[in-house]
Amino acid sequence: MIVAGCDVGALTAKAVVMENSGILGSEIIPARPDAVLSATEVMD
């Protein structure tokens, strides 16, 4: 099963995509003023 998750904090937004127990991809970006924008951008 493929799953994705993200975490938006005050300084960074982080995302990871996993299949079973392996990481397929990850990203860390500077947080934006709007949490929704941060989450959308890090998941793209």
pLDDT tens digit sequence for 11-31: 999 999 999 999 999 999 999
Q: What is the DSSP letter of 20?
A: T
Identify the residue with better confidence: 2 or 44.
2
- 3-state DSSP call for residue 12? strand
Local confidence band at 38 (pLDDT 50, 70, 90 cut-offs): very high
How confident is the model at residue 7, as a pLDDT? 98
Is residue 19 within 8 A of residue 1, CB to CB? The reply is: yes
